[in-house]
Structures are given as structure tokens and as C-alpha cells.
Amino acid sequence: MAALAGDEAVILVTGGTGLVGCGVKEALESMNKSNEKWIFLSSKDGNLIELEETKKIFEKYKPTHVLHLAAFVGGLFRNLKYKVEFYRWNVLMNDNIMECCRLYKVRKLVSCLSTCIFPDKTSYPIDETMVHSGPPHSSNEGYAYAK
């Protein structure tokens, strides 16, 4: 991610302590990141489900770019037990991130999702053209439809 005309790029990574966030951080350790400041958030940094808390994070770090990896996730039994909550909380989180990117004039937002959004009944290997070719597994509906 290059900064424009010598400006420092500030890249905010939500879900920065999760599986993908840790992978991004590890990959960056071997790269030259001149003019880039990477901030890896965890859920302890603020509740992205709450708009005001999300705004405070954007005000504090003033990101120029956002890599949105955060999500409310759980295992199979949590997915089934809290299907509506998973949907609602992930939609709120995504909406708050997008709204703050708009309000704080973030140059680029990249959002990430999981393979569990893909249809339950599909052929492999899967690719992005197949994402809407059928419903996800019923245990993933809340998360999958929110992402």
C-alpha cells in the first residue's frame, strides 16, 4: 500500500489479532513498509458494533486505508444458537466500518469474508463466481448472510 506524494499511509486492520490478521502481520515483517504505518486492532480496542466506539477508533488513528477482517464468529454450536445475533452484529459492524470510512474519507476499504459463506452444496475447487449459486450451510446462515 503506497502512500501518495510522500504522505504516510495509515492502514487500520480490524480483526488484527485473528487468524488472517496475524497472517498479514507476519507477512509484513519481511517487507519494506516505508511510508506505511500498520495498526492491528483487537476487540479490546473498541466494540465495532457500536458506531460511537468505531468513530473514536477512526478519530484516534486517522486511517487512510482499512483492511476489515473483524467479525463476530464462533464454532458450530454458537453459530446455531445465536444465528440472528451473528447476522445482526456482523451487519452492524460492517455498516459502522463503511460509514466511518465514508465520514473520515478513507481512501480504500478492503473487506474480507470466510469460505463458510459459499453454498453448502457445491463443487470444488470453489471460486468467487460460485458465492451466490446456493444457500450456505444452515449452521452458518447468520454469519454468511451478514458477510
Per residue, the 3-state secondary structure of 94-141, as one string, reads HHHHHHHHHHCCCCEEEECCCHHHCCCCCCCCCCHHHCCCCCCCHHHH
Q: Are 110 and 66 in contact (CB under 8 A)?
A: yes
Which of 87, 104, 143, 145 is catalytic? The answer is 143
Residue 120: phi and psi, rounded to 5, are: -65, -45
The confidence score (pLDDT) of residue 53 equals 98
> What's the pLDDT score for residue 38?
96
Confidence of residue 6 (pLDDT cuts 50, 70, 90): low
**Catalytic: 143?**
yes
Q: What is the pTM of this model?
A: 0.84
Residue 6 neighbours by CB under 8 Å, 6+ apart: 35
Across residues 32-56, what is the average pLDDT? 94
Answer whether 9's CB lies under 8 Å from 36's CB. Answer: yes
* Peptide bond before residue 125 is cis, with ω within 30 degrees of 0: yes
Read off the pLDDT of each residue in 38-52 and give the average, rounded to a whole number.
Answer: 97
Q: 96-109, pLDDT tens digit by residue?
A: 999 999 999 999 99
Radius of gyration of the chain (CA): 16
